[in-house]
């Protein structure tokens, strides 16, 4: 009978120890450093977006496409994306836009060939990525007036920039399909 009680106690203490171990693991996962700072998350997202956009640029044949006279060509879409990246990020950070007062979309030297197009589009992502580490996370909730008319926080301006580049890249999916090219697989993570 005593051995039966000792075995029962061992079993009980084993179950308690196992529950404590699971609890510690769950707590450790919740308290883990996997929670990224805002700027670390922004850097990861903008890096992923840059790489994804480069895949689109690489996938489009050299001769590009302008499906109808009324809409942007593939190059114009990408230059519109780049132009907006520069403008949004400059407005959000105060860092001078290297293409201030220029509309990249209308500059034929950047749409003349795939290499120059790719260079300026990726430069716009590098501009965003170089601005992010300079951000003071405490100032991300400061109000700004985006383009002199939209009141929002610095963080919201970055979010709008990210949303815009995603939208413009998405527009070019149909351009690739019209060229018989399978668009790059989505990069959510």
Strand intervals (E) in the chain: 143-146, 150-153
Residues 30 and 42 reside in one and the same domain: no
- Judge whether residue 69 has pLDDT over 70: yes
Residues 78 and 102 reside in one and the same domain: yes
How much is the pLDDT for 21?
Answer: 47
Q: Which domain holds residue 15?
A: 1-35
In-domain check, residue 187: no
Least confident stretch, 31-35, 96-100, 122-126, 146-150:
31-35
Number of domains, the chain: 2
d(CA 151, CA 164): 17
d(CA 136, CA 162): 19
Residue 59 makes CB contacts below 8 A (sequence gap 6+) with 176, 181, 182, 183, 184
């Amino acid at each position: 009978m005593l051995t039966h009680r000792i075995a029962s106690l061992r079993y009980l203490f084993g179950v308690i120890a196992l529950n404590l171990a699971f609890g510690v693991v769950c707590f450790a996962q919740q308290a883990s450093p996997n929670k990224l700072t805002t700027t670390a998350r922004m850097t990861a997202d903008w890096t992923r977006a840059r790489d994804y956009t480069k895949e689109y640029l690489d996938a489009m044949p050299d001769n590009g496409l302008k499906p109808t006279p009324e809409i942007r060509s593939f190059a114009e879409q990408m230059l519109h994306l780049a132009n907006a990246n520069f403008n949004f990020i400059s407005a959000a950070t105060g860092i001078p836009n290297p293409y201030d007062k220029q509309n990249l979309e209308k500059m034929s030297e950047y749409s003349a060939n795939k290499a120059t197009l790719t260079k300026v589009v990726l430069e716009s992502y590098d501009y965003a990525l170089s601005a992010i580490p300079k951000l003071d996370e405490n100032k991300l909730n400061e109000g700004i007036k985006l383009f002199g008319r939209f009141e929002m926080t610095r963080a919201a301006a970055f979010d709008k920039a990210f949303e815009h580049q995603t939208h413009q890249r998405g527009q070019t999916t149909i351009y690739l399909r019209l060229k018989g090219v399978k668009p790059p697989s989505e990069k959510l993570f």
